[in-house]
């Protein structure tokens, strides 16, 4: 978060009058508006705190030139929208930006120790100061949230008076005013003291407020507040238990992100004018009916030839589920990945690449047989790719991977036909593992035993984080998934040294299933580090052979050994085995699974069982 040196109001073009009479409070990058400071998240700017507003007003406030539409049909179909829009930039020249609202409203004055709503301090316009003391106000450090995604003020009055009256305010029926001070004896919650001037309740500390049942013991339940939608949005019926959180905790907001690669025939942008018409076009099977519809919609001048429209319809129907039963979201997302895997595996060497083509995947020119001893096959040079990442929803308290749809909070009060998203253009290297050798390795009892320990631990974590353990999706931990995941991490670490990229600018994309065993490593950042070039050259067989061998030898040793390689469990809830930040863990932006389900022993073996690793023969040479 980088606030500007001074607050100022936005101006129109050429320094004219402001487009919207709203003060500027800070600046975030477009990518941060998807991954870090999306709708419903809290932003700290100087000594103030805000919550990012919902998208209900964005249709009017986000200008088309600063927040253009982007299209990715396969992802739009998965998320049931027509298109996506990039969040507006918030630099000095932008006409508008992300809308925010003040939250939490409860503030304290470090001079007079008053604890009350921001407006009750009577601050001067545009400032957050105590009207009496003229010192900066401090936003409440504590908020409350529930697993359904609601967020509210911490009930200070009820905490002091041990009251079940959830509707009481700081002045309530006792007639007193809340006070908050810090004793300074310790840095713990015990030193944060809250009192009321009514004299009916003793001064109490914040110690114990973070217990899971602290607010439940007071009889307080969630009443469904949604402050990011504004005061006009009605509260939802909820009744779930409340949890106390620190305002800056990562549990306050976690994004639910979905992404897709642009692959043919959707990757040249020619189908973008039809974005809002695909649902209608799918109703027609006959060519003549499609032609009539297009003539009516585009008044006889369809921007896409009819033959291409029919080919696009055929491509879309290929991803339809085989069964008549309605597929789950996970099944549809898996189908999207399957189609990407097919395209990456086959490439498009024979196609004529136009300037607008956003997917160029070619077979390397070198001799691929040099990779056979490694068990690596089918390398492909992805010279050009485009990934669209969309913010679909967000969660609070519970991990986005373990949540169900009912616990995902939408970004607006009313359904919208678009979602905020960002697009990343770059390059990458795709490779597969030899299926025959992989099948034989997977059947080894020692491999299955290690994976079962990880899968059991991960499933236990998912069930603990979920509100309904019976609806938790099964853990994706399988021998090939963990092997591919760990291999991707060691390759990213190796290429960060060989290709000159920082590890945080590279990202993995795993394709692990019964019929898939591939990994794509690609440039994943929209800043300058994502356009350095040179990564795709690492996919040539001779260079790739050297890279894999070097990465495997590097993974053989860790500065935390023997504790790391002999570990019975590591990571969150024991979801890793031989993996730590000194060997295979990556920056969070590079990993699809938050640095869990990793085990370098599956690559190189253990001291007790050196033949356990898939690449054990490489180490023997």
Computed over every residue of the chain, the mean pLDDT equals 86
Q: How many Cβ atoms are within 10 Å of 386's Cβ, its own excluded?
A: 19
The whole-number pLDDT of residue 8 equals 45
CA distances (Å), origin 72, targets 85, 112, 264, 273: 11, 55, 11, 12
Task: Please write the tens of the pLDDT for every residue from 542-578.
Answer: 999 999 999 999 999 999 999 999 999 888 889 999 9
The answer to whether 222 and 238 are in contact (CB under 8 A) is: yes
Beta strand 83-85 with 418-433: parallel, antiparallel or unpaired? parallel
| DSSP secondary structure code for residue 371 in this structure | G
| SS3 label, residue 507 | strand
| Matching residue, tokens 């692959």 | 263
Token readout for 295 is: 């003539």
User: What's the mean pLDDT in 233-258?
Assistant: 91
Token readout for 529 is: 């580090």
User: What's the mean pLDDT in 348-352?
Assistant: 76
Cβ-count burial of 213 within 10 angstroms (0-12 exposed, 13-18 middle, 19+ buried)?
A: exposed
In angstroms, the CA 551 to CA 497 distance is 10
User: What's the mean pLDDT in 263-276?
Assistant: 86
Q: How confident is the model at residue 273 (pLDDT cuts 50, 70, 90)?
A: confident
Better pLDDT: 595 or 524 = 595
pLDDT of 95 higher than 90: no
Q: Phi and psi dihedrals of 126, rounded to 5?
A: 80, 5
Taking alpha carbons only, the member of 605, 588, 607, 608 closest to residue 596 is 588
Q: How confident is the model at residue 127 (pLDDT cuts 50, 70, 90)?
A: confident
The answer to whether 522 and 536 are in contact (CB under 8 A) is: no
* Strands of 100-102's sheet in order across: 42-45, 48-52, 100-102
What pTM, to 2 d.p., does this model score?
A: 0.86
CA distances (Å), origin 145, targets 215, 251, 338, 345, 452: 11, 9, 37, 45, 34
């Amino acid at each position: 978060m980088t606030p500007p040196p001074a607050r100022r109001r936005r101006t129109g073009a050429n320094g004219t009058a402001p487009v919207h009479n709203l003060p500027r409070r800070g600046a975030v990058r477009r990518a941060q508006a998807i991954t870090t400071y999306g709708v419903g998240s809290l932003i700290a700017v100087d000594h103030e705190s805000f919550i990012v507003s919902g998208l209900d007003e964005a249709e009017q406030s986000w200008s088309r030139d600063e927040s253009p539409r982007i299209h990715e049909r396969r992802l739009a179909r998965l998320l049931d929208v027509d298109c996506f829009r990039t969040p507006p930039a918030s630099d000095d020249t932008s006409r508008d930006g992300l809308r925010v609202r003040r939250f939490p409203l409860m503030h304290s004055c470090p001079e007079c120790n008053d604890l009350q709503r921001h407006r009750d301090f009577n601050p001067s316009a545009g400032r957050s100061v105590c009207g009496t003391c003229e010192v900066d106000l401090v936003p409440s450090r504590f908020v409350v949230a529930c697993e359904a995604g609601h967020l509210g003020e911490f009930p200070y009055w009820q905490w002091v008076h041990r009251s079940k009256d959830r509707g009481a305010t700081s002045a309530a029926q006792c007639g007193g005013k809340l006070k908050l001070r810090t004793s300074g004896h310790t840095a713990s919650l015990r030193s944060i003291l809250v009192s009321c001037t009514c004299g009916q309740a003793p001064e109490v500390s914040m110690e114990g407020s973070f217990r899971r049942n602290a607010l439940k013991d007071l009889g307080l339940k969630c009443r469904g507040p949604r402050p990011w939608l504004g005061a006009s949005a009605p509260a939802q019926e909820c009744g779930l238990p409340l949890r106390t959180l620190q305002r800056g905790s990562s549990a306050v907001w976690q994004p639910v992100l979905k992404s897709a690669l642009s692959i043919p025939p959707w990757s040249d942008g020619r189908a973008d004018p039809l974005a809002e018409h695909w649902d209608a076009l799918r109703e027609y099977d006959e060519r003549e009916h499609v032609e009539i519809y297009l003539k009516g919609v585009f008044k006889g001048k369809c921007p896409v030839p009819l033959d291409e429209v029919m080919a696009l319809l055929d491509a879309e129907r290929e991803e339809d589920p085989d069964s008549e039963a309605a597929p789950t979201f996970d099944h549809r997302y898996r189908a999207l990945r399957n189609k990407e895997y097919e395209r990456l595996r086959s490439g498009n060497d024979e196609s004529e690449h136009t300037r607008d083509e956003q997917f160029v995947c070619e077979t390397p020119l070198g001799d691929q047989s040099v990779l056979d001893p490694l068990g690596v096959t089918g390398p492909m040079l992805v010279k050009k790719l485009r990934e669209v990442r969309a913010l679909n929803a967000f969660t609070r308290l519970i991990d986005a991977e373990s949540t169900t749809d009912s616990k995902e909070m939408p970004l607006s009060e009313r359904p919208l036909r678009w979602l905020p998203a960002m697009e990343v253009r770059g390059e990458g290297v795709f490779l597969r593992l030899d299926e025959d050798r992989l099948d034989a390795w997977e059947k080894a009892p020692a491999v299955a035993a290690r994976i079962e320990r990880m899968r059991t631990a991960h499933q236990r974590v998912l069930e603990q984080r979920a509100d309904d353990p019976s609806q938790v999706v099964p853990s994706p931990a399988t021998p090939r998934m963990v092997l591919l995941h760990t291999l991707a991490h060691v390759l990213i670490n190796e290429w960060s040294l060989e290709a000159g990229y920082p590890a945080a600018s590279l990202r993995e994309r795993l394709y692990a299933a019964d019929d898939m065993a591939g990994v794509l490593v690609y440039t994943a950042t929209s800043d300058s580090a994502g356009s350095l070039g040179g990564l795709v050259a690492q996919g040539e067989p001779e260079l790739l052979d050297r890279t894999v061998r070097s990465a495997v030898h590097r993974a053989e040793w860790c500065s935390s050994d023997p504790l790391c390689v002999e570990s019975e469990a590591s990571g969150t809830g024991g979801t890793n085995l031989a993996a730590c930040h000194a060997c295979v863990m990556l920056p969070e932006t590079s990993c699809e699974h938050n640095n869990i389900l990793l085990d370098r022993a599956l690559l190189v073996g253990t001291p007790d069982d050196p033949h356990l690793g898939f690449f054990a023969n490489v180490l023997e040479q």
